[in-house]
Structure 1
Amino acid sequence: MFSILRKPRAFLPKVIAGLSTLWLAACDPVGMQAPTTGTNTGTTVPVALLVPSGSGNAGDEVLARALKQAADLAISDLDGVKIDLRVYNTGGNPQLAAQAATKAVDEGAKIILGPVYAASANAVGLAVANRGVNVLAFSNNTEIAGGNVFVLGPTFPNTANRLVSYASRQGKRRILIAHEDTTAGQAGANAIATAISRSGGTLAGKAPYPFSQDGVVRAAPGIAAQAKSGTVDAIFMTADTAGALPLLTQLLPEQGVDPQTVKFVGLTRWDIPPATLALPGVQGGWFALPDPNLNQQYQSRYQAAFGEAPHPISGLAYDGIAAIGALVKSGHANALSREALTQGAGFVGVNGIFRLRGDGTNERGLAVAEVRNNAVVVIDPAPRSFGGAGF
């Protein structure tokens, strides 16, 4: 349970150094486009799944198992498509990941699903770039997207576009960005600023702060002063629940910011862990999340199949298999080509609709939620096709 902090103390324990466990400092982006080899869609299609087993980290082992189970669940749902899923361990290491990818392609893999971490995904893309094989990575780091690498994870630009678009329609057009002075915080702030420009809104300013409790405490009065200037309709925060969010949403109201007038908006999930929803400072705040109904169905099915709750990112493995299955079912020889993967209609996964973009990033149909009385209330449903709300 998060506590409401009344005075500075050691910053929240086990603070995540960034906004997501999947965000790592990017290596050189994969910029080359691989030639496309044909896929015999009438036979079993070999698919490589790269998981972080072997790193010595217990969390990586849990994640690896969850990704494999989610992929198996997706395969069982395919109608008339046969997938030969081959699992390769990366040890959470870029060099080992590249070696595993090379081995997978040598053994006949037509497409690679994974790995998780950005640096490893980048290394994998480089290793197989000239082999005609595309990579559907579980990372959310857009810096490594491009060429033969596509990221499946929820990205900052996609979330920012959804929320800024909704905020603008509600009259919250003058937006102040409050962000950590970290690589991920700056990337999040840039995504929000781009979304504001795209929506025709107004960037009311940027308020960076050091990624420490003392840094947040010292920065809060200045952020509050900007928010109370009369030129701000909303504060868009990059902070997550494991870092500065609890403290920031406490201190700003204490400094006189009225969340009823200046809306608090979050780039990250405010419902993970659920205890965050009980914080007074997040009440009335907005954030984006995948289609709750579809996600709940996935969680129930996964629990019934494997006797445990799914890992939060395991659904990306399901989505990857769902996309592969849909394309293979089309019967085209180039079913797993770059052109096929980026077809505009997109795909349906456990978190709703999604599509892959030509630059290697993705677009996902997200719902907008508000925290009310310690609970999540969807105030703008996730679209069920592209071209709807938020897109």
Structure 2
Amino acid sequence: MMAENGVDTVMARRLIYEGIPHMFARYISARKAVAQFFAFTALVWLAACDVTLAPEANVGQSIDTSDPVPVALLVPRGSGTGSDDFLAQNLENAARLAIADLEGAKIELRVYSTAGDPATAASAAATAVNDGAKIILGPLYSEAANAVGVAVAGRNVNVLSFSNTTSIAGGNVFILGSTFENTANRLVQYGTRNGINRYLVAYGDNPSGQVGSQAIATAVQNNGGQVVGMESYPLSQQGIFTSTRRIVGSVRSSGAQAVFTTAGAAADLPLIATALPDAGMNTDTTKIVGLTRWDTVPQLHALPGIQGGLFAMPDQSTAALFANRYAATYGEQPHPLAGLAYDGVAAIGALVAAGNSEALTKSALTSPQGFRGTSGVFRLLPNGLNQRALAVATINENQVVILEQAPRSFGGAGF
């Protein structure tokens, strides 16, 4: 589920953006009712409350909110890869859909192609700012997003990237993609409130697994828990089955209450969820907790190892509203990442609608009350990361069961 820290390039191209541990659902519905929902509810800025930042850190262009605000959208069109072109069109479609749903704000969207290339993206960003863009939405891939941030840093322009690579966040670059950190925090906080404090981390021996394992360890430590073991495994059938004997031994000797794994639902999770119980781990007393979404692959739900385990997912009713709206307008289901463009425009539009000339500055973008987006509430943080509302779910009798709904606002349980 989240592709991160350089892993996002591969993930997105394979449609496994596992920082999206949260792909967006799809459906169809009446334009007017859904548009009104997003215009008046889902996309309304929840409140304006300044974050205290040093004056020199408050990057961002001042605007005249009575005029249309020029927003540059950078998409990976022209890379020579059909999936990139398809995604680029979906991002543009979603952004235009959000503009149509805005109330009280006018946005002039200008679309630039990056070819999925950092140098091309940086050049496009510079051109966009020269053309008058006040803020940049995109690009997707982490290296391109980093290059764009550098290219416009001296121009006092913020970048809302679609990446979920946390290492590029900060300064004038924000990431909109779902992150391992956000998912890990949500699950550990839920676990802490339900008596789970001792975690063994089991992760695949690849970049995504390594990044995910660090996110888990940090979340456990930040929430007062204990990481009682860190166990890696090769991403091969034989490697996993051999490693699980060692992992189960560590579970027993450490007294772990849960095995928190980075395993992907469409990759290593079926093997891990089978091999751990086969190696003697009692999943009734030692839960498997997943960093990726388990709901997206129904075939997994019959595996005994994940019965009673924990994973996180976005609010599906909210995600379906966006998918309905998109399908009703464009006649097809949206790409799982299309909602990120909608969210970015929604946040910008809501801030502009408030009539504040400093709407696109860092202090405004990082309002702690956040925004409502295509998969629930979210907010941007001063360090360039984001928080997104997630539900905590389990698998019970081969069915997805929500244990705790995604929060509808910030400040309570779930954040």
When the two structures are superposed, what TM-score results if normalisation uses the length of structure 1? Answer: 0.90
Q: 1:43–1:82: 8 Å Cα contact kept in structure 2?
A: yes
Partner of 1:11: none
Partner of 2:133: 109
- The residue number in structure 2 matching 1:44 is 68
Aligned in 2, Cα 1:18/1:78: closer, same or farther, shift over 3 Å? closer
Residue of structure 2 in register with 1:62 after alignment: 86
Aligned counterpart in structure 1 of residue 216 of structure 2, from 192, 195, 199: 192
**In structure 2, do the counterparts of structure 1 residues 18 and 212 end up closer, same or farther at CA, with 3 Å as the change threshold?**
farther
Deviation of 1:272 after TM superposition, in Å, equals 2.4
Offset, 1:248: 0.9
Hey, what does 1:281 align to over in structure 2? 305
Shift in Å at residue 271 of structure 1?
A: 2.0
Q: Distance in 2 between matches of 1:15 and 1:390?
A: 26
**Cα distance between partner residues in 2 of 1:17 and 1:111:** 26
Quote the Cα distance in structure 2 between the aligned partners of 1:15 and 1:308: 22
Report the counterpart of residue 309 of structure 1 in structure 2: 333
Alpha carbons of structure 1 residues 93 and 33: separation in structure 2 relative to 1, 3 Å: farther
Look up the match of 1:370.
394
Equivalent residue for 1:383?
407
Q: Secondary structure at the match of 1:130?
A: helix
2:281 is matched with which residue? 257
* CA distance in structure 2 between the partners assigned to 1:16 and 1:84 by the alignment: 27
Instruction: Tell me which moved more, 152-161 or 268-277.
Output: 268-277
* Aligned twin of 1:7: none
TM-score scaled by length of structure 2: 0.85
**Residue identity matched to 2:217:** A
Pick which of 83-92 and 265-274 moved more: 265-274
1:330 aligns with 2:354: yes
Q: Secondary structure at the match of 1:146?
A: coil
Residue of 185, 188, 209 corresponding to 1:161: 185
Deviation at 1:311, TM superposition (A): 1.0
2:343 to 319, 341, 355: 319
Rounded to whole Å, the distance in 2 between the matches of 1:150 and 1:52 is 18
Task: Say which SS state the counterpart of residue 196 (structure 1) adopts.
Answer: helix
Q: In the aligned structure 1, how far is the partner of 2:215 from the partner of 2:382? A: 18
Q: Is the CA contact 1:19–1:239 (under 8 Å) kept in the aligned structure 2?
A: no
Structure-2 separation of matches of 1:152 and 1:16: 14
Helix, strand or coil at the partner of 1:207: strand
Distance 1:322 1:355 in 2: 12
How far apart, in 2, do the equivalents of 1:20 and 1:181 lie? 17
The one-letter amino acid of 2:218's match is T
State the 1:180 CA deviation. 1.5
SS in 1 for 2:253: coil
Please, which of 297, 308, 324 is the counterpart of residue 300 of structure 1? 324
Rounded Cα–Cα distance in structure 1 between residues aligned with 2:298 and 2:87: 20
Unaligned runs of 5+ in 1: 1-13, 24-31
C-alpha contact 2:204 2:235 (8 A) present in aligned 1 = yes
Q: Higher helix proportion, which one? A: 2
Where structure 2 has 5 or more consecutive residues not aligned to the other structure, the ranges are 1-9, 20-55
Q: How far apart, CA to CA, are the structure 2 residues paired with 1:387 and 1:81?
A: 27
CA 1:58–1:18 in 2, change beyond 3 Å: closer, same or farther? closer
Deviation per CA, 1:152-183: give whole Å up to 9, x if none: 01111111110001011111111110012222
> Does 1:352 find its partner at 2:376?
yes
Which residue number corresponds to residue 77 of structure 2?
A: 53
Letter in 2 for 1:299: A
Quick one: distance in 2 between partners of 1:40 and 1:154?
31
Conservation of the 8 A alpha-carbon contact between 2:170 and 2:382: yes
User: Is 1:98 the counterpart of 2:117 in the alignment?
Assistant: no
Which residue is 2:30 aligned to? none
Partner of 2:161: 137
Shift of 1:207: 0.6
**1:204-243 → structure 2 map (5 Å cutoff):** 204-229=228-253, 231-243=255-267
1:48–1:111 CA contact under 8 A, matched in 2 = yes
Q: Does the residue aligned with 1:228 lie in a helix, a strand or coil?
A: helix
Identity %: 53
Contact 1:193-1:203 within 8 A present in 2 as well: yes
Following the alignment from structure 2 to structure 1, what is the Cα–Cα distance between the partners of residues 99 and 303? 40
CA distance in structure 1 between the aligned counterparts of 2:68 and 2:396, rounded to whole angstroms: 49
* Cα distance in 2 for residues equivalent to 1:142 and 1:19: 19
Give the counterpart letter for 2:160 in structure 1: L
- Cα 1:312–1:239 change in 2 (3 A) is same
Aligned letter for 2:63?
T
Which residue is 1:83 aligned to? Answer: 107
Query: Cα RMSD between the aligned structures?
Result: 2.1
Aligned partners of 1:150, 1:54: CA distance in 2, in Å?
24
Q: In terms of mean alpha carbon deviation, does 204-213 or 260-269 score higher? A: 204-213
Cα deviation per residue 1:256-306 (whole Å; 9 max; x = unaligned)? 112111111111111224433344433322111111211121122212121
* C-alpha contact 1:49 1:85 (8 A) present in aligned 2: yes
Distance 1:16 1:236, change over 3 A: farther
Give the whole-Å Cα distance in 1 for the aligned partners of 2:378 and 2:121: 26
Instruction: Tell me how far 1:17 sits from its aligned partner.
Output: 11
Contact 2:58 2:363 in 1 (8 A): no
Task: Indicate if the aligned counterparts of 1:34 and 1:148 stay in contact, CA closer than 8 A.
Answer: no
SS at match of 2:410: coil
Structure 1 counterpart of 2:48: none
Check whether the contact 1:35–1:131 (CA below 8 A) recurs between aligned residues.
no
Look up the SS of the partner of 2:154 in the other structure: coil
**Is contact 1:44-1:81 (8 Å) kept?**
yes
1:111 is displaced (CA, Å) by: 0.7
